Structure 1
Amino acid sequence: MWCFRWWILPFIFGQLNIYYTRAAWPLPNMSSIQLLGLFADAANTSEPTEFSVHSCAMFKAALVLSQQYNIKIDGEFIGWQAAQTGGNAIGALRSTCQAVTTANIIGIVGPAYSREASIIAAFAHSDNIPAISYAATEPDLSDRNVYPNFYRTVTSDAAVTLPIVKLFTRYNWTSCIMIYQNDEFGSGGMEVISNAFSENNLIISKFIVFDIATQHIRGDLKDILSTTPTRIIIVWADDYHTSLILQIALNFDVLGPYFTWILSSKVSFNSFNQTMYTKLIGMLILEPIIGSVVNAPFNTTLLNAAYQIWEQYEPETFPGSTKVNYYA
């Protein structure tokens, strides 16, 4: 298992256009015992994301690898079903219900987002099967009394509060504005950061909501920022919504060098006009990283074997071992 830790990174993004085609994996339903993988892209999307493509490929590679290691349950290899949820709770629930009514699903890998995870965690508990998310970080999901069948390979957002507090202490910052998306991920991050600030005598001067339904900030961003003394802004949103928030900030000219922005998600330069790149300089990202980045131990034999399987069956999406999405 890879170790995820929070690390503060400069705002440095690669620019890459990726095109994916359908690959020929071994038949997933060769066994009556199956795992269900839930991935965030919409079904039949024409614009698949690296996040979903890489995660799905590693899911399949792990199960092919389990067969090579002769891992069986009740004398059978483990097969799989992979479903695209569209990144929303209803899509995740629909895919899960369809899978469990047509196959013997013994566990769920996913879903990706916190806004999907609570309902899938509750479903897993009712069906007495484990659900293991690779990217859902909402702190309340750690409550074993509420979600006894839910696990994850990434740390809770509660873990990010320590580096944020240390960052503010290091530079003698005392206050900030926080922008967060109005779902479980955004609200959960807002709550744990707010609590950590209160415990360390730091202040969040203003909370600003980004509405993911309307895809707009509630209120006048330029007016709010210009009338608040602090010049530090924390954004707690996923990569897609972070890019929308930054575009709004670019339109109002409230990025660098006037404000220091701290992001919880990495976005691509491709989202913005090249003439605006200089205004994006100086941002910070709080990002979970894999254990190898900080020299933590991990099983290189199994990991490299999974990479080889991915490259064998889906070479058109394999980016090389050093460029695999961290969540995958």
Structure 2
Amino acid sequence: MNPAITNQSEDGDVYSFTLSGVNVSLANALRRIILSEIPTYAFITDTYENNKCNIEVNTSRLHNEIIKQRLGCIPIHETDLDILTDKYVLEVDVKNQTDNVLYVTTEHFRIRNKSTGNYLTEQETKRIFPANRITSQYIDFVRLKPGISDSIPGEQLKLTAEFSVSMAKVNSMYNVVSKCAYGNTPDSTKISEAWEERLAKMVSDGMTEQEINFHKNNFNTLDSQRIFKPESFDFVVQTVGVYDNRSIIKKGCAVLQNKFVAMIDAINSDIIPIERSETTMDQCFDITLEDEDYTMGKVIEFVLYDSYYEGEKILSFCGFKKLHPHLSYSTIRVAFGRDPGNEGRRVCKDMLIDACTQAQEVYSKIFSMF
């Protein structure tokens, strides 16, 4: 496989490009990783056991769990994942002492060094929790009502929160993109040819210009979308602002590379189970992938199919399946055309290593193009 990147363009925070020369399974794996497994800073607040947010005072109208959930949704604009964790803590301490409703925003956030007790400068804090580029407004966090009398003071919120590193796979609050999608690249030449052929028939049938325009709109909406270039995909990526779009794509490729390298090590160490399959197919083996799903499974399935079913014709069957979304494992099932005897597991290992190596090389090439 020889991946190629073309038609790169950027419009604000939306980045577009065309990825060609790869199967859809590899393109989809990149999309899935970008959506779910790019590490970023996070405030972990979702369960009692893992909660790293301590709310000391809260007299607002929102209860603690809603406030913690809102805190977890706020992006933390720091790309070095070794700076903040275990070294700094977020502090919020605001009391409404005015006569109006007070909106607590990320502008009120303060970051304290745990070892020295010193706070980051206002400029540095605003870099980590920046204002919106268009509106220049900060993210609303909590609304505090004013006091009514001496006995009913203004509402107050006081909390601390640790900085952690997580990803959208753990909780979708910790995403790095607001959009990551792809579609088949339309083949403009063949689309024009298909329309000209239809147009000639419509003219010969005596259709009016209005009828022809109606059918043209239908064609452009439906049938033209079925005419596309093979193994070519138009991507669009939109960052939430923590990383720039090109860095996100490179990080996605790096994550996939590391996954396949780790899988090669696991195969060589006999960690990945390879067992005879209890099916009606002869010479059939099941390869169990722990903690992996369609992202890697479909890539390995395609490479095995392309190299050993269509190519060398060693396999008579190759398929991937995840029996249920809640299961932690998935299965790749392969069957040999000829009985490999006692060498079945060894041959499966060799094929898996080759498939992972090919996949890793593809993402290494894509990485180098950004």
Fold agreement, TM-score > 0.5? no
TM-score scaled by structure 2? 0.21
Higher share in strand = 2
